[in-house]
Amino acid sequence: MRFGPVPPQYQYPGHQQSTVEQYRPPAPLATLDARAISAWFGTRKVLDRVSLTMQPGRVTALIGPSGCGKSTFLRILNRMHELVPSAQLAGEVLLDGVDIYDTGRRLTDARRQIGMVFQKPNPFPTMSIYDNVVAGLKLTGVKVRRSEKDALVEECLIKGGLWREVRDRLRSPGGALSGGQQQRLCIARSLAIRPRVLLMDEPCSALDPTSTRVIEQTIAELAAEVTIVIVTHNMQQANRVSQQCAFFLAENGAPGAIVESGETEQMFGSPVDQRTSDYVNGRFG
């Protein structure tokens, strides 16, 4: 790698299947495989040969103290790392066996298949709720017939857990929503481009407990359709929402690496490495 249809749980009473839902076949669940990823900012190495397979249709939580490379790793998974002028990396990121950094693949292809939700909600503040949802289509070059847009907006807001709250004010500015609602709007916007993988960088860190609970419920429901990778510093959240987990650590000035990864139940209940046990039980970090 070098630089150079809406399921029942999402439906509301009286819901009608849209053209988008009826005729767009669901994409197969995706496997995302990072192999021997090393990363630098200038001469400073921040990740050292990180390998991790993120299983299809599951939630993978990336945990570890601040500064251990979790967010850098997440950004590498959809080619955001290369936007930093001094950034370099080595290794491979394979989406169903195909390297997203292959010179023959376009950047927009990676971004369309691997979406991102950031720590701070970033809706377009003066753009309407409706236009926020469909904004990602234009940015990634996805074409949807005008007759399908209404159905797509409805579908994505339902899946984002926001439809009931905003269906009567879709033309209101997205920036007028609460913080938790804005984050769910950003999730809906990401879903509109039909990603196969959804990356989430501490999506609940700035939210109140009620909004956090709604986002976590949304994550649990979406996992049936999209492979999710989430960075979180909240160990209770990682334990609640994920099925597999990877513990990152950077010790004594060394670049970040994975100490241990595996099933979440095992990682929290009987980890192999004592450092993992110490971290998940709050003894450091």
Task: Indicate whether 9 belongs to any domain.
Answer: no
Task: Indicate whether 16 belongs to any domain.
Answer: no
List per-residue pLDDT tens for the chain, 285 residues long.
Answer: 333 344 443 333 333 444 344 334 456 789 999 999 999 999 999 999 999 999 998 999 999 999 999 999 999 999 989 888 899 999 999 999 999 999 888 887 888 899 999 999 889 989 999 999 999 887 777 777 877 899 999 999 999 999 999 999 999 999 999 999 999 999 999 999 889 999 999 999 888 898 899 999 999 999 999 999 999 999 999 999 999 999 999 998 899 999 999 999 999 999 999 999 999 998 886
Task: Indicate whether 6 belongs to any domain.
Answer: no
What per-residue confidence (pLDDT) applies to 138?
Answer: 78
Task: Indicate whether 192 belongs to any domain.
Answer: yes
Q: Please count the structural domains in the chain.
A: 1
Task: Indicate whether 15 belongs to any domain.
Answer: no
What per-residue confidence (pLDDT) applies to 27?
Answer: 64
Domain residues for the domain of 263 are: 32-280
Query: If DSSP states are collapsed to H, E and C, what string results for the chain?
Result: CCCCCCCHHHCCCCCCCCHHHHHCCCCCCCCEEEEEEEEEECCEEEEEEEEEEECCCCEEEEECCCCCCHHHHHHHCCCCHHHCCCEEEEEEEEECCEECCCCCCCHHHHHHHEEEECCCCCCCCCCEHHHHHHHHHHHHCCCCCHHHHHHHHHHHHHHCCCHHHHCCCCCCEHHHCCHHHHHHHHHHHHHCCCCCEEEEECCCCCCCHHHHHHHHHHHHHHCCCCEEEEECCCHHHHHHHCCEEEEEECCCCCCEEEEEEEEHHHHHHCCCCHHHHHHHCCCCC
Task: Indicate whether 36 belongs to any domain.
Answer: yes
Task: Indicate whether 222 belongs to any domain.
Answer: yes
Task: Indicate whether 8 belongs to any domain.
Answer: no
CATH of the domain at 38: 3.40.50.300
